[in-house]
Structure 1
């Protein structure tokens, strides 16, 4: 099975290709900063399926979650921090190559990118849809590299 570097490269390549195509067609032309953020969301999506096992991807993913959770607590965003902590526990309820390695999880798990801003902050979903798609692309790149299809 591919390692975390391959999954990072795969997620970045798929998302760069999709962004390049959308930009070239004129369908979506985000700023450079937005493209970098989309790339990061894609990479996190590409690493998520392996958070149910001891791996470098798991340490990277949970390290990022820890930093975000600490910032949320510091900013007294306790409700959002609690949701992030709850979601971070979910992979522990399954076995490796279990539910985190399924096509339906690749569509549902990134849904939190849309739902969290809507439900917790009352924001509209449309501005977050590109981040959802980037996360889904990263997630599916992981499943493709692991030959899950």
Structure 2
């Protein structure tokens, strides 16, 4: 079972392979900034399953959640801040290698990448789908490296 560095490497390798294949087939050719964002989402996805333990992924996850919640509060968007806070405590429910290490969590956890921009800003699914898939790919790379498949 790899540590956080192994999960980061696995997510980056899976993302590079998927993006390289999509580029080579002519299916998707993002600019470097978009590829970097997709790689970051894949890494976050790969680190998320271990947020229920004292890990680098946990520190990163809660750091990002704290910063995002602070921004929402400063903008007086209390409903969204409360929703983010609710979602942030969900990993604490259950044991390690519990629900965060399931195939369905790999699809559900990254879903705000699709849902929030579509509902709040009217962004098209086609624009968001590559970012969602990058997060799912990172999540699944974690599960694969942990021997969950």
TM-score (norm 1): 0.92
Task: Report the count of equivalent residues.
Answer: 149
1:58 aligned to 2:58? yes
Residue 107 of structure 1 aligns with which residue?
107
Does the alignment pair 1:28 with 2:33?
no
- 2:39 aligns with 39
Runs of 4+ in 1 over 4 A off after TM superposition: none
Question: Which sections of structure 2, spanning at least 5 residues, go unmatched?
Answer: none
Quote how far apart the aligned CAs of 1:98 are.
0.2
Structure 1 unaligned segments of length 5 or more: list them: none
For 1:1-149, what aligned pairs fall within 5 Å after superposition?
1-149=1-149
When normalised by structure 2's length, the TM-score is 0.92
Q: Give the conservation status (yes or no) of the 8 Å contact 1:117–1:125.
A: no
Q: CA deviation at 1:108?
A: 1.4
Q: CA-to-partner distance for each residue in 1:7-66, whole Å, 9 max, x for gaps? A: 111111101111111112111011111111111110110011001111121111211222
Q: What is the RMSD of the two structures over their aligned residues, measured on CA atoms?
A: 1.4
